């Protein structure tokens, strides 16, 4: 029999989780009609409040560690907003210990160890590339961990994300369906020839009958915009592709600006699709066609999932795959 949770009570009573929390803990005044609905839902569902949950709701020292890349990703701000807003609900009031790391996975491990030594109660992780050592590090910790906006092949690690592999495949297939054979992939990770995103790109090409050495068509991010811009000008001086799939709007911006400064027209000469539908995508000229994900919602879902693990609640869906869609703008025909 499925365990009844506070989420079920909130749904049955048609109130927020915060309202259920206030009723359970008598921590604030609740409108009589709402309190009545909550109490009736508790009785109907035979809900038995988890004492650990009630303790956490009252506790002021519960701390959640959050570790994210240091690279410029404006979508990260919205992801963090979803996490922070959920953590600050009356029923939780968690403290957040935020750590950032460079693309160097050794720095990730340093920041990870710093979080562990600070005795956090749970950890949320966003990482563009998880090698075997990092996955082992995550699984070996004694506190709950949830990945967010991070694709991982190890299904023992809980996560909330879109299917990046499929999304990259779909973006690439859009171009192969137009009979393009020279397509470039811009990966924001330094490990450009590894990972799910590159696999999705290469699979789409192979499914379209495009074979051979694809290494020249995959490029990784440099240290900053200036370095990316200079690198792409060098690449374009030797090779002008028909289309580009970029894993970030920042990379796409560097590529598009480099191309246009060399007299190459977007999208007439090169079409571009990017991930991260953010302000950069709308500010570029032409505006940037993007794969968009509900990043705020992913942050909320990740925080809720981590909370279930911290409360030792039953988790029916440890891997949550959220939806994505294409926003067509001026960088594609």
The whole-angstrom separation of Cα 21 and Cα 58 is 10
Residue 189 and residue 109 share a domain: no
330 within a domain of the structure (yes/no): no
Residue 261 and residue 249 share a domain: yes
Q: Residues 297-322: pLDDT tens digits? A: 999 999 999 998 988 788 889 999 99
Residue 218 and residue 193 share a domain: yes
- For residue 267, CA distances in Å to 167, 177, 251, 284 come to 21, 16, 16, 13
Closest CA to 286 of 265, 305, 269: 265
68 within a domain of the structure (yes/no): yes
184 within a domain of the structure (yes/no): yes
3-state secondary structure of 96: strand
Residue pointed to by tokens 């921590």? 27
The whole-angstrom separation of Cα 259 and Cα 255 is 6
Please give the pLDDT value at position 87. Answer: 84
* CATH number for the domain harbouring residue 258: 3.40.50.2300
Residue 301 and residue 158 share a domain: yes
Residue 136 and residue 76 share a domain: yes
Residue 300 and residue 156 share a domain: yes
Residue 139 and residue 77 share a domain: yes
Residue 243 and residue 178 share a domain: yes
- Residues forming a β-bridge with 161: 321
Question: Residues 29-47: what's their mean pLDDT?
Answer: 87
Give the residue, 57 or 46, on which the prediction is more confident: 46
pLDDT at 51 over 50: no
The whole-angstrom separation of Cα 135 and Cα 11 is 35
pLDDT at 36 over 60: yes
Question: Residues 197-222: what's their mean pLDDT?
Answer: 85
Question: Residues 21-45: what's their mean pLDDT?
Answer: 82
Q: Residues 89-148: pLDDT tens digits? A: 756 678 899 998 876 778 889 999 999 888 888 999 998 778 888 899 999 888 899 999
Per DSSP, the chain holds a count of helices (H) and strands (E) of 13, 12
Task: With cut-offs at 50, 70 and 90, classify the pLDDT of residue 65.
Answer: very high
Residue 15 tokens read as: 């109130």
Closest CA to 255 of 272, 239, 267: 272
Please give the pLDDT value at position 52. Answer: 44
Task: With cut-offs at 50, 70 and 90, classify the pLDDT of residue 263.
Answer: very high
Residue 101 and residue 30 share a domain: no
332 within a domain of the structure (yes/no): no
Residue 212 and residue 148 share a domain: no
Within 8 A by CB and 6+ apart from 104, the residues are none
Residue 205 and residue 157 share a domain: no
Asked if 149 and 68 touch (Cβ cutoff 8 Å), the reply is no
Q: Which residue stretches of the chain are H helix?
A: 6-13, 17-25, 32-45, 51-58, 74-87, 105-117, 132-140, 164-176, 196-207, 225-238, 249-261, 279-283, 295-310
Q: Which domain holds residue 136?
A: 58-162+294-323
pLDDT at 238 over 50: yes
328 within a domain of the structure (yes/no): no
Asked if 149 and 83 touch (Cβ cutoff 8 Å), the reply is no
pLDDT at 229 over 90: yes
pLDDT at 3 over 70: no
Lowest model confidence (mean pLDDT) among 30-34, 142-146, 186-190, 261-265: 186-190
For the full predicted model, state whether its pTM sits above 0.85: no
The whole-angstrom separation of Cα 275 and Cα 147 is 19
pLDDT at 192 over 50: no
144 within a domain of the structure (yes/no): yes
The total domain count for the chain is 3
Asked if 19 and 34 touch (Cβ cutoff 8 Å), the reply is yes
Residue 90 and residue 75 share a domain: yes
333 within a domain of the structure (yes/no): no
The whole-angstrom separation of Cα 75 and Cα 280 is 10
1 within a domain of the structure (yes/no): no
């Amino acid at each position: 029999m499925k365990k009844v949770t506070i989420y079920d009570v909130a749904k049955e009573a048609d109130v927020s989780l915060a309202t259920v929390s206030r009723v359970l803990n008598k921590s604030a005044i609740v409108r009589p009609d709402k309190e009545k609905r909550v109490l009736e839902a508790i009785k109907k569902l035979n809900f038995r409040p988890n004492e650990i949950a009630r303790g956490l709701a009252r506790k002021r020292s519960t701390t959640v560690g959050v570790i994210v890349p240091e690279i410029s990703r404006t979508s990260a701000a919205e992801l963090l907003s979803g996490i922070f807003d959920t953590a600050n609900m009356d029923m939780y009031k968690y403290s957040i210990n935020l750590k950032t790391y460079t693309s160097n996975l050794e720095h990730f491990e340093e920041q990870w160890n710093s979080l562990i030594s600070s005795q956090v109660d749970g950890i949320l992780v966003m990482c563009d590339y998880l090698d075997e050592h990092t996955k082992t590090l995550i699984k070996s910790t004694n506190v709950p961990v949830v990945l967010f906006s991070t694709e991982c092949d190890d299904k023992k690690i809980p996560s909330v994300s879109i299917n990046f592999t499929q999304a990259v495949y779909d973006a690439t297939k859009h171009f192969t369906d137009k009979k393009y054979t020279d397509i470039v992939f811009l990966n924001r990770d330094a490990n450009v020839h590894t990972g799910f995103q590159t696999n999705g790109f290469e699979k789409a090409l192979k499914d379209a009958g495009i074979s051979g050495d694809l290494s020249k068509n995959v490029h990784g991010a440099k240290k900053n915009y200036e370095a990316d811009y200079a690198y792409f000008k060098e690449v374009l001086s030797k090779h002008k592709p028909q289309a580009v799939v970029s894993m970030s709007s920042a990379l796409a911006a560097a590529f598009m600006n480099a191309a246009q400064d060399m007299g190459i027209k977007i999208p007439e000469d090169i079409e571009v699709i990017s991930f991260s539908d953010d302000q950069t995508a709308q500010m570029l000229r032409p505006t940037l066609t993007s794969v968009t994900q509900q990043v705020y919602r992913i942050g909320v879902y990740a925080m809720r999932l981590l909370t279930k693990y911290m409360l030792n609640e039953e988790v029916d869906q440890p891997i949550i795959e959220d939806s994505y869609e294409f926003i067509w703008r001026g960088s594609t025909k």
